[in-house]
Amino acid sequence: MYIVDEKDREYRFGDSGPKYLMRGPRMNFAIVQFQPGQDFKAHYHNVMEENFYILEGEVDIFVDNVKYTLRQGQIIHIEPKEIHYIINNSNAAVKMISTLAPFMDVDKVDID
C-alpha cells in the first residue's frame, strides 16, 4: 500500500503530457494534460490496453484513423495494437486520466 500526491509529480513536458502517479507493477496511472494545439504522436501498444477518462475540457483522439471527440465525463478504451493519436484542437486545456494495463516497461511503438 502507498499514497501518492499529484502535487509531488510533474508533467513530462512542463505544462503538458503525462504526470505518472503510478508506474507498475501491474498498471500505469497518470494525469494527462494538453494545452490548446498540443498533441501526442501516434503510437500503439503490443500488450497494454489504454483508457482515457476526460476530467476537464475536450480532446480529439484518433483510433486507427477514426476521429473521436471526447468531453468531460467520457471514457475511451483502446485495445492493444490500435494506433492512437491525441490532439487538443479546442481553445482550452484538457485534463484526463490515463490507465495502461497490464504493465509493461517497454510496450509503446511509435508511428512515423
Determine the pLDDT at residue 89: 98
Determine the pLDDT at residue 112: 78
Query: Which grid cell sits at 96?
Result: 484526463
Query: Which grid cell sits at 78?
Result: 483502446
**CB-based contacts of 67, cutoff 8 Å, min separation 6:** 60, 61
Digit-coded pLDDT (tens) for 81-107: 999 999 999 999 999 999 999 999 889
Determine the pLDDT at residue 105: 84
Domains recognised in the chain with CATH numbers? 16-103 (2.60.120.10)
Determine the pLDDT at residue 21: 97
Low-confidence ranges of the chain (pLDDT < 70): none
Query: Which grid cell sits at 95?
Result: 485534463
